[in-house]
Structure 1
Amino acid sequence: MPEKMDFKKTDKLFYMPGLKPSVVEVPEMVFIEVAGTGDPNTSAAYKNAMEILYGLSYGIKMSKMDGSQPEGYFEYVVPPLEGLWRMADGGTVDYSRKAEFEWISMIRQPSFVTGAVFEQAKEKLHRKKPELALSGARLTRRREGLCVQVMHRGPYDDEPATLQRLMQFMTENGFVPDYSDERRHHEIYLGDPRKTVLEKLRTVLRLPVRKI
């Protein structure tokens, strides 16, 4: 049986950076996204976003079970959850003000996921869970471009120390932050805090930059 395609293995450069900061050029990728605001630990909107993202992503993956798989379908592992973050006032991420977060939560999709495939998945999920507000879900293509990134190990609340190292690396190598509506503080969650000891959690931290 052929091995399932796993982005974490085929695109290790983007999903498995080292513990030392590095520079990366991120190409265009396809995502299903849901945007919202508030503290992800307490926000009902964030909880709903998770249901929508995983419902749609696994619906597309399991479409083979009812014979509705799209053209070009292949076996794959659903990629990890990712998040783009900023503050409501437009500032950089401040972990002491989580209630003021603006976030875009997203899960990468294989290249065969087109607009038609996405709409079909929404229709199926609506029939299964009509209480979910799917109007906020969208299929997008993102090209992050030039970034710096590093692997953070440990609890999410310990990320500021790792980010400080990443910012120092940025400065020492002649880069400055390059934030915009599309280019934000980016995190990729490689572990499930419900199932993983916090000290062993792995999170990719990525920041958009430009050369001075």
Structure 2
Amino acid sequence: MQAKYEWRKKEKALYLPKNQPEIIDVPEFKFITIEGTGSPAKSIFTEKIGALYSLAYTIKMTLKKMDVTPKGYYDFTVYLLEGVWDITDAAKANFTGVINKDDFVYKLMIRQPDFVDEYFFKEMLEVAKAKKKNPLLAQLNFERSSEGLCVQMLHLGIFEDELISFKKMEEFAKNAGIGRQSKIHREIYLSDPRKVAPEKLKTVLRFQALRT
């Protein structure tokens, strides 16, 4: 029997970087996603995360019980929660240097194994809907995403201090002869804020780059 695929062991470069900036080339991956706006402190943000995990675990657990599995199937550890963050166009037009959390625009996502395709996603989504009766499940999508050339690092501590890490990353990129594509960035959450003290939170920060 094939051993369970564990991203912590197989994909350290993507998910367990050091707390110093580095360059990485990120290929295309498949994700289940959900979009939203506003502060992550609002209850709807947590509810959207719940919908994502509901489907992610439906996919994993249902696969283990199926007599016939998709081509290329292997058991796997569910991937981490990720988020791509931006602000509204109005906030950009009137930017003062301070970001209001209510102006956030985000896409939350959980990566899926290569053998999961859009057809199987839709099939498992119906299974999840039958079990959970969660209206937010209807907002989930299946997407492919390729980030390409990026700069990333591990951020230690509270989310509000991420600007310090981003300044390090931007300076590193400048010295490496590459630029930042935009202020849009990705966060990969290694810690659960409900269980870990704020000063001990671990978050992978990543932004897309381009050669200058």
Sort the Cα spacing of 1:179 and 1:124 in 2 relative to 1 into closer, same or farther, 3 A. same
* Runs of 5+ unmatched residues, structure 2: none
Deviations 1:65-102 (A, max 9, x none): 5426631322111011000000012749x773111000
Q: Which amino acid aligns with 1:127?
A: A
Give the whole-Å Cα distance in 2 for the aligned partners of 1:85 and 1:154. Answer: 18
- Are 1:32 and 1:140, in contact at CA under 8 Å, matched by a contact in 2? yes
Match of 1:81 in 2: 81
Secondary structure (helix, strand or coil) at the match of 2:204 reads strand
Match of 2:59 in 1: 60
Counterpart Cα distance in 1 of 2:22 and 2:13: 10
Displacement over 6 Å in runs of 4+: none
Match of 1:203 in 2: 203
TM-score normalised by structure 2 residue count:
0.90
Q: Which moved more, 1:118-127 or 1:82-91?
A: 82-91
RMSD of equivalent CA atoms: 2.1
Question: Which residue of 2 is the match for residue 106 of structure 1?
Answer: 109
1 CA distance for matches of 2:82 and 2:68? 24
Following superposition, the deviation at residue 134 of structure 1 comes to 2.6
Q: What is aligned with 1:187?
A: 187
Counterpart for residue 16 of structure 2: 16
1:117 matched to 2:120: yes
Deviation, 1:197, is 2.2
Cα offset, 1:4, TM superposition: 2.1
Deviation per residue, 1:172-199 (Å, 9 max, x gap): 222222139xxx3001000111111222
The one-letter code sitting in structure 2 at the alignment partner of 1:7 is W
- 2:51 and 2:134 in contact (8 A); partners too: no
The residue type paired with residue 174 of structure 1 is G
**Matching residue of 1:127:** 130
For residues 57 and 81 of structure 1, what CA distance do their matches in structure 2 show?
10
Query: 1:140-189 deviations in whole A, cap 9, x for unaligned?
Result: 11110001011101111221111111111112222222139xxx300100
| Runs (5+) with no aligned partner, structure 1 | none
C-alpha distance in 1 between matches for 2:149 and 2:196: 31
**1:174 and 1:211 in contact (8 A); partners too:** yes
Q: In structure 2, the residue corresponding to 1:161 is in which secondary structure? A: helix
Per the alignment, in what secondary structure is the counterpart of residue 135 of structure 1? helix
1:42 equivalent to 2:42? Answer yes
